[in-house]
Structure 1
Amino acid sequence: MKSAVETLNPTRVRLTVEVPFEELKPSLDAAYKKINQQVTVPGFRKGKIPARVIDQRFGRGAVLEEAINDALPKFYTEAVNEGELNVLGQPDVDITEFNDGDELKFTAEVDIRPAIEIPDYSGIEVVVDAIEVTDEDIDKSIEQLRDRFASTTTVERAAADGDVVIVDLEASVDGEVLEDGVAKGVSYTIGSGQLLDGIDEAVIGLEAGGSATFTSELKGGSAAGSSAEVKVEVSDVQARELPELNDDFAQLASEFDTLEELRADSRTRLERMKQYDQATAAQEKVLDALIELAEVPIPEKLLKDEIETRTHNLEHHQFPQMGLTWETYLEREGKTREEYDAELEAQAVKGIKTQFLLDELVNKEKLSVNQEELTEHLMRRAATSGMSPDQFAQAVVEGGQVPMLVGEVARGKALAVVVESVKVTDTNGETVDLEDDEEDGEAVESADETPAAEVVEQS
């Protein structure tokens, strides 16, 4: 077999492959064997039909076609390996010449990973918000905790904002009550925004036994996105009572004995959260600066496929779950479809550049991922997915996604190498030490969505 590589552009090549006929013999033998198992000819046992009889009965062309279909992937792979190419996606194959007994000639056009030169990033400087925890921040945190320990008491009065009401709901569309539009004994805190739009205005002022009807767009269920008439009946009105802010509350809501100790712990936790946010912001800004410095050609087909994949996931997975259509989604986002498409393309471009650059850094720095790092990353991913670590690990293994997770960790380590070499200061002019945060390998996950891992893993 002979092969040659023609560079069409920095991200696409054309392979020209010539295969002597004798190298097709294993595939021809396999084709005769396969056809032998599929057909029946009177006078011959199944699987024992001579090749000449198969040629006469079914045509030599059918055998050659089966043989070529079997052989092409093997010879294509050999040509890719011979050319030392990092291919992306499936090739466009064209058989240019083939006659029975003569050599097979074909071409294959395919996207490749572009050669990337990592720029000198040592001069990158970024500025992030300084970490500041105010008394107001602590007060808000304590109030949120206090809210979780609120008690309720039934009251004989009209419902008001902040009260808890027990309600029965019945939704109708075009005068027909929906089968999945009836709910009884629902507990709802007025003003929380956790039920249907319009329910707050409907129940405020109602006493137990009162009812009202309001119009609302359904967010889920069989009639998601439809405008429905909703009847609400209030069976109980309860006033929420917050516990007093004192040492007793600190002992009730935490492991601390005094309110002062609880407030000190809240300050520490808020500082840690802001440190994490600061590290994430720094990593993203460094990544943006690195991308700005580098020349990263984008394969057109890869970009097109990525945009189509993201759009498909939005239309067929996220929209149904959220009860949205393109019209309602764009209205909610305050965008036109053209603006959305432009933003999506920009995100996809950034994602592809991110993977290309960081993967090149992984190779340049000879970074590897050990089992402990992979396990820690898996635990984090499991927590964000809502699955147990065992369930998530099983899903990853069954889906063949282990290389994807390894790639995420490795790219996180590559970005950490860059961050360690640049200058990060806060808005107060203080140098920011991100060493502990960089070791997490979390930064890549927080960047704009990376392209589909399976596309990259084909390289």
Structure 2
Amino acid sequence: MSSNLKKLEKSVATIELNIPKEKFEEGLNYSYKKNVGKFNIPGFRRGKAPRIIVERYYGEGVLYEDAIEHVFPDAYQEALDSFKIEPVDSPNIDIIQIGKGKDLIIEAVVPVLPDVELGQYKGIEVKKVEYNVKDEDVTNRLEQMREKNARVIPVEDRAAQMGDIVDISFEGFIDGVPFEGGKSDNYSLELGSKTFIPGFEEQIVGHNVNDEFDVNVKFPEDYRVENLKGKDAVFKVKLNSIKYKELPELNDDFAKDVSEFDTLDELKDSIKKEIQEQYNKNAENEMKDNAVKTVVENAKVEIPEVMIDRQIDISLRDLDYNLRYQGLNLDKYLEITGKSKDDLRKEMHDDAALRVKTQLVIDKIGKNENIEATDEEVENRISEMAKNYNISVEDLKKELNENQINNIKEDIVYFKTIDFIFDNSKIISKEE
């Protein structure tokens, strides 16, 4: 078999495959044996007609499709290996020459992994990012701890007020007709949390346990449900119970109850240190992101549209997965937003193109710098995964196939390459 790389431009390769007539004859025999049982020819029992009779009765072309499918893969793979081409999608093929006693000539057009022309990726300048802990950060953390350790106390002798936690049953009506999603029993609501439609929570204030009353509201014009936008609604509400939070005092006793520290000052110092460590990580990650952005901007690459389409498919699957956690799905999201899937794909196009380019550039730098994943790093990553999924390392290893192990290695190399870029950057202060 021989092949000829006719053209390679804009990340699309055109390859001409010449499959010798002897090899194509093998394909025709394979096709005949595979399909002979399907042919019904007068004078022969089904499956017993000789190949020459089948070809005369149905025409020689009846065997071509399976013959091509039989001989094409090996010839195509041989050509890819010969020209060191990495395809990113299936090829479109065109038959140039075909016939009994002739070489089979096929032209294959295939999008390939594009070549990346790297710009500067060592010694790039990255602005220093710093986040420092403020007193209010510590205060907010302490308030969260107070909320977490608050006592919830039933109210019997007064009406509801802002800050209370109420249990309500309700049903909503528009023009006297109940609407979908507008009914709930024993719903827990913190007044003042702005969880409900504007004006709803305020109208519960002043009511007592077991009161039944109407709440009149207007849905916002930008409400997420299309058929409720801007509509006036009446909710029939029953107030089942009222509770309030009693927050613990901030003192040394509080520190002892919620931590290993004996004093509030020690707890504050610990919180400040913890927040600062997280801020430092955030700052470093932001600088790494900025370094990668610069390196990607410095590079040139023509990305096949099929790679962008695949990234959009991944993004849509991720979006659908996340929406399901919120009780929605992609179709419902499109209905609520009034968009079509094509609209969403167009919106995602530029971001998907950037993601693909970033991946290609990082991969190229990793290869240039011979960055690899060590056995120890792979073992550590597998151990981390096992811990996250609460299974043993041995059980996880049994489940991982070769492709999944390779994916783990690729992830390690990817992030090591980002670290390499950052470690070789020049961090400059605002003054510089």
| TM-score normalised according to structure 2 size | 0.81
CA RMSD, 1 decimal: 3.9
In the other structure, the counterpart of 1:449 is none
Q: Deviations over 1:275-313 (max 9, x none)?
A: 111111011000011012112222233234434654576
Work out the CA distance in 2 between the residues paired with 1:420 and 1:80: 37
**Residues 191, 202 of structure 2: 8 Å contact kept:** no
* Stretch of structure 1 that moved more, 138-147 or 152-161: 152-161
**Residues 87, 110 of structure 1: 8 Å contact kept:** yes
Deviation at 1:244, TM superposition (A): 0.5
Q: Deviations over 1:256-290 (max 9, x none)?
A: 22212211111111011101111110110000110
**Identity fraction in percent:** 26
**Residues 23, 71 of structure 2: 8 Å contact kept:** no
Deviation at 1:170, TM superposition (A): 3.0
Deviation at 1:241, TM superposition (A): 1.1
**Residues 25, 100 of structure 2: 8 Å contact kept:** no
In the other structure, the counterpart of 2:96 is 96
Deviation at 1:405, TM superposition (A): 3.8
- Secondary structure in structure 2 of the residue aligned to 1:325: helix
Residue 212 of structure 2 is aligned to residue 203 of structure 1: no
Q: 1:255 aligns with which of 242, 260, 269?
A: 260
1:341 and 1:31, CA in 2 relative to 1: closer, same or farther beyond 3 A? closer
1:43 and 1:247, CA in 2 relative to 1: closer, same or farther beyond 3 A? farther
Deviation at 1:401, TM superposition (A): 4.9
1:144 and 1:313, CA in 2 relative to 1: closer, same or farther beyond 3 A? closer
1:317 and 1:329, CA in 2 relative to 1: closer, same or farther beyond 3 A? farther
Work out the CA distance in 1 between the residues paired with 2:346 and 2:260: 51
Work out the CA distance in 1 between the residues paired with 2:183 and 2:382: 40
In the other structure, the counterpart of 2:289 is 284
In the other structure, the counterpart of 2:349 is 345
Q: Deviations over 1:52-84 (max 9, x none)?
A: 454356543222222113322332222111111
1:258 and 1:302, CA in 2 relative to 1: closer, same or farther beyond 3 A? same
- Secondary structure in structure 2 of the residue aligned to 1:23: helix
In the other structure, the counterpart of 1:120 is 120
* Stretch of structure 1 that moved more, 111-120 or 314-323: 314-323
1:60 and 1:242, CA in 2 relative to 1: closer, same or farther beyond 3 A? same
In the other structure, the counterpart of 1:63 is 63
Deviation at 1:397, TM superposition (A): 4.8
Work out the CA distance in 2 between the residues paired with 1:87 and 1:252: 61
Residue 189 of structure 2 is aligned to residue 188 of structure 1: yes
Deviation at 1:317, TM superposition (A): 7.3
- Secondary structure in structure 2 of the residue aligned to 1:100: coil
Work out the CA distance in 1 between the residues paired with 2:335 and 2:153: 44
Residue 310 of structure 2 is aligned to residue 321 of structure 1: no
- Secondary structure in structure 2 of the residue aligned to 1:141: helix
Deviation at 1:153, TM superposition (A): 1.5
Residues 299-448 of structure 1 correspond to what in structure 2 (within 5 A)?
299-307=304-312, 310=315, 314=319, 318=323, 320-321=328-329, 324-325=333-334, 328=337, 344-370=348-374, 372-374=376-378, 377=381, 397=400, 401-425=404-428, 427=430
Work out the CA distance in 1 between the residues paired with 2:43 and 2:93: 40
* Matched residue type, 2:102: D
1:150 and 1:97, CA in 2 relative to 1: closer, same or farther beyond 3 A? same
1:207 and 1:13, CA in 2 relative to 1: closer, same or farther beyond 3 A? same
> What is the number of equivalent residue pairs in this alignment?
417
1:27 and 1:424, CA in 2 relative to 1: closer, same or farther beyond 3 A? same
Work out the CA distance in 1 between the residues paired with 2:345 and 2:30: 48
In the other structure, the counterpart of 1:270 is 275
**Residues 225, 325 of structure 1: 8 Å contact kept:** no
Deviation at 1:139, TM superposition (A): 0.9
**Residues 378, 389 of structure 1: 8 Å contact kept:** no
1:281 and 1:179, CA in 2 relative to 1: closer, same or farther beyond 3 A? closer
Work out the CA distance in 1 between the residues paired with 2:148 and 2:399: 36
Residues 90-169 of structure 1 correspond to what in structure 2 (within 5 A)?
90-155=90-155, 156-169=157-170
Q: Deviations over 1:211-256 (max 9, x none)?
A: 3334558x99xx9654276443211111111100012211222232
- Secondary structure in structure 2 of the residue aligned to 1:169: strand
In the other structure, the counterpart of 2:302 is 297
- Secondary structure in structure 2 of the residue aligned to 1:89: coil
**Residues 6, 15 of structure 2: 8 Å contact kept:** yes
Q: Deviations over 1:395-449 (max 9, x none)?
A: 99589655444322211111111111111245587xxxxxxxxxxxxxxxxxxxx
**Residues 214, 234 of structure 2: 8 Å contact kept:** no
Residues 2-17 of structure 1 correspond to what in structure 2 (within 5 A)?
2-17=2-17
Deviation at 1:390, TM superposition (A): 7.5
Q: Deviations over 1:74-105 (max 9, x none)?
A: 32222111111021112121112212221111
1:294 and 1:246, CA in 2 relative to 1: closer, same or farther beyond 3 A? same
* Matched residue type, 1:414: T
1:66 and 1:280, CA in 2 relative to 1: closer, same or farther beyond 3 A? same
